[in-house]
A and B are shown apart, each in its own frame.
Chain A
């Protein structure tokens, strides 16, 4: 099956700092999503981004499908950004999301 690797596994940020999370995948995909899992376990959809660049407030994401990676950029981080960020993909001609291992982010005040 398709492999999804996220880096770094853990990230500690000072409030106000910027950071980039990375997601590499091993095969062609037709769907890529970024999620934020809050401390209560709820997965919140951040981006549906099989290709291109999108921005939503302080977050932006870029997927370069030909190079098989996606990046999530957090600017001016806030303590509420803490949690686990997951990248998940669906390989071409598939319908099942495969999740990466996640990046655990802690933003300190």
Chain B
């Protein structure tokens, strides 16, 4: 149990385009989903926290108009990188937390974004 999927696993796009990344909890309902960013050989940095049906809470320094988060259901959250630029190239990872036995966070496999 406690499986989280992400799609796509990798994406290459041109500068100025927008990219949407999906995060799904496959076998449990996620009360909260989190989005992280990881640069090469660095740790994970939390970008934002999203709860189903409410606005996401962004960490300091993260542009909410650039990284749009939608948490439409208890099993799906999306991150849209708008007007992507090369400096947005990174590894984006989501996690999901449920309740009861799923109080710990479970992570998706990540999405590698390359902006040309």
> Does residue A95 face the partner (Cβ distance < 8 Å to B)?
yes
Decide: A99 and B110 in contact? CB cutoff 8 A.
Answer: no
Residues of B within 8 A of A75 (CB): none
Q: How many inter-chain contacts with C-beta < 8 Å in the A-B complex?
A: 48
Residues of B within 8 A of A95 (CB): 32, 49, 97
A95-B32, A96-B34, A101-B43 as given contacts; A45 in contact with B49, CB under 8 Å: no
Decide: A42 and B43 in contact? CB cutoff 8 A.
Answer: no
Decide: B46 and A41 in contact? CB cutoff 8 A.
Answer: no
Decide: A43 and B93 in contact? CB cutoff 8 A.
Answer: yes
Decide: B91 and A41 in contact? CB cutoff 8 A.
Answer: yes
Decide: B107 and A35 in contact? CB cutoff 8 A.
Answer: yes
Report the minimal beta-carbon distance from B48 to chain A, rounded to whole angstroms: 10
The size of the chain A interface, using a CB distance under 8 A, is 20
> Does residue A25 face the partner (Cβ distance < 8 Å to B)?
no
State which of A31, A42, A96 has its C-beta within 8 Å of the C-beta of B49.
Answer: A96
Decide: A41 and B49 in contact? CB cutoff 8 A.
Answer: no
Q: How far is the CA of A31 from the CA of B102 in the complex (A)?
A: 12
Decide: B93 and A97 in contact? CB cutoff 8 A.
Answer: no
Within 8 A of A (CB), among B85-116: 91, 93, 95, 97, 103-107, 109-110, 112
Within 8 A of A (CB), among B48-104: 49, 91, 93, 95, 97, 103-104
Residues of B within 8 A of A43 (CB): 44, 93, 95, 107, 110
18 new A-B contacts at CB < 8 Å, known A96-B34, A102-B43: A31-B104, A35-B107, A41-B109, A41-B110, A41-B112, A42-B109, A43-B93, A45-B2, A45-B104, A45-B106, A48-B103, A48-B104, A88-B44, A95-B97, A96-B46, A97-B46, A97-B105, A99-B43
